Amino acid sequence: MTSPASTVEELLHRQGALEDFGEPLAATTFVTVDLETTGTSPASSQITEIGAVKTRGGEVIGEFQTLVDPGSPIPPMIVALTGITDAMVVAAPRIDAVLPAFLEFLGDAVVVAHNAPFDVGFLKTACRTHGYAWPGNDVVDTVTLARRATTKEEAPNKKLSTLARVFGTAVEPNHRALEDARATSEILHRMLERCAAFGITHREDLEALRNPMPEKLRRKATMADAVPAKPGVYTFRGPRGERLYVGTSKNLRSRVKSYFTKAEQRRRIREMLDLAVDVDTIVCATELEANVREVRLIAEHRPRYNRRSARPERTPWVRLTDERYPRMGVSRALARPAGALGPMRSAADARLAIEVLQSALGVRTCTTRLPITPRAGARACLLKDLGACAAPCVRGAESGYDEAAAFARAALAEDPTPVVSALESLIAERSAAMDYERAAELRDGISAVIEGAMRAQRLDALARCGIVATRGDGAGWDIVALRGGALVGSARVESRSQVWAAADRLRARTATLDLEETVLIEERELVSRWIETPGTRLLHVDGEWSMPTASAGRHARWVDARRADREGAFEWRRGEPAR
């Protein structure tokens, strides 16, 4: 007997080494920019000169410089400061002609400037005015960086001239764009050398320059030192070894380090980091394996600071109650109860589904547990007179309620078409009467029923077979083995020629497994989505992976309509027109 969790750990077959993720600052391209302008406000002033220096690994690999015709006289004070006169720019290009070449020079490099909001603000305004999209590059402000890298004693202020003196730059700033950009570039690299002590060693760490972490958390960044730069699962532990938080990443070292070098705004996570004293990691062959392990660990250990999957046994299902004259009810369980609809997305969806099922199939809505033989003097409610209920409360077995219950069981466990057929015309009537709110409620109810049935049928079909499948991502191929809806094996290979051999090994090792644990619903849905993602190839299927022709999927348009309505509402809430 083997559990899904232990099987993945024991049966993983890995091939090929994975490259470290993340871009070291030594390999990062920086473009240091400086502008000269006719004033201080982008709304009322214009650019007169652009200077930029492109560097990588501290070496200059390109420079950009041009005067710019501002289209208006340069104020005398600016002439005195920069030495740029109207005569110098009269033959220079206008900014709309300069921008294409500058943006091409910039590329996807990190933008660096001294007092970056000033220079970047002018560039963004120029792009917006002349119809160019600002590329949204990462930005480093050397003023902010200087506050981290220099002391008040050595640099009482953070002016460019002061920092040039502190670091002894070869180029002296002189209020001309290219020379100032050169000086700023030198200062940048000197300060980055100092900032390595704060854990700023990769491009991803630059966010910490804008939102520095408290010192007590920055000191904990050493937790990441022994963490591999590979994909997998990480677990933060508290002072008693308790699991505080579980997560996944494509680069474990970079992700763990980011908690202590970037300003974490979530209150719960900041609280968790205060408590954390250690971190465990599990390297995984594939992203799917990491996601599955995360789900299992959260379900097993209930980490205090994880919200997702905190109580998997509370998954809602819609089913008929176990009594002589059954009612619709919500059942919460880890595994699917017999004949139940679901798993439902939420308790709210379960209630919506119950409402339309009762309306369409004539299932009683009262909550009383009825005796087999009606009590003497029992009275029916208004629904009997309206023809909406067979009233077993007063007519017992002669009411024909058993037929309604049988229809309901079939709709829950097999085919929800009767529900759709019964309510389509009613939705059309409500819409024609401009009662759009009620029409939308009925539409949402049908959608909840269909989505619950689709999920049940997809997951049941997956649980009846064993599958070995693969998918490539350009850098290699992931191979996964599934049995009973659980992930039981995972591997990664570097070339397509290795796929079949790895798949055959996984199949041989997992084909006879007897899974002793209930497979988590969330795990089944993870592997189901992975298998159904375009580009996935099935290599082995043991058993049948199929669904009946009369499956809920043929009514998927109701789910799509509700989803589109929700997405449109979301766009409107953001202040944007729905598309």
Catalytic residues: 175
Residues with Cβ within 8 Å of 260's Cβ and at least 6 positions away in sequence, in order, are 199, 213, 217, 218, 220, 221, 223, 224, 273
Length of the chain: 579
The half-sphere exposure of 209 on its side-chain side, counting CA atoms within 13 A, is 26
Assign 481 to helix, strand or coil. Answer: strand
Structure tokens at 80: 């005195």
Residue 258 CA to residue 279 CA, distance in Å, equals 13
Roughly what angle, to the nearest 10 degrees, separates helices 417-432 and 401-413? 100
Nearest to 294, CA basis, from 347, 246, 236 = 246
Q: Which of 176, 172, 161, 142 is nearest to 37 (CA)?
A: 176
Fill in the DSSP letter of residue 576.
S
Give 387-451 as a DSSP string: TS---HHHHGGGG-HHHHHHHHHHHHHT--HHHHHHHHHHHHHHHHTT-HHHHHHHHHHHHHHHH
The answer to whether residues 329 and 319 touch, using CB atoms and an 8 Å cutoff, is yes
Give the whole-angstrom CA distance, residue 482 versus residue 463: 9
Return the structure tokens found at 484: 């009973």
Contacts of 410 (CB under 8 A, 6+ apart): 418
In one-letter notation, the amino acid at residue 411 is A
Q: Looking up tokens 């591999």, which residue turns up?
A: 228
DSSP string of 182-201, one letter each residue: HHHHHHHHHHHHHHGGGT--
DSSP 225-267: TTS-SSSEEEEEE-TTS-EEEEEEESSHHHHHHHHHHS----H
Cβ partners under 8 Å of residue 135, min gap 6? 103, 106, 108
Residues 203/28, Cβ–Cβ less than 8 Å: yes
| Listed residue (208, 192, 200, 188) closest to 224, CA to CA | 200
- Do residues 462 and 479 lie in contact, with contact meaning Cβ atoms separated by under 8 Å? no
Tokens of 399: 């009411």
List of residues 6+ apart from 510 with CB closer than 8 A? 7, 11, 466, 481, 483, 488, 489
Q: Residues 200, 24: contact at Cβ < 8 Å?
A: no
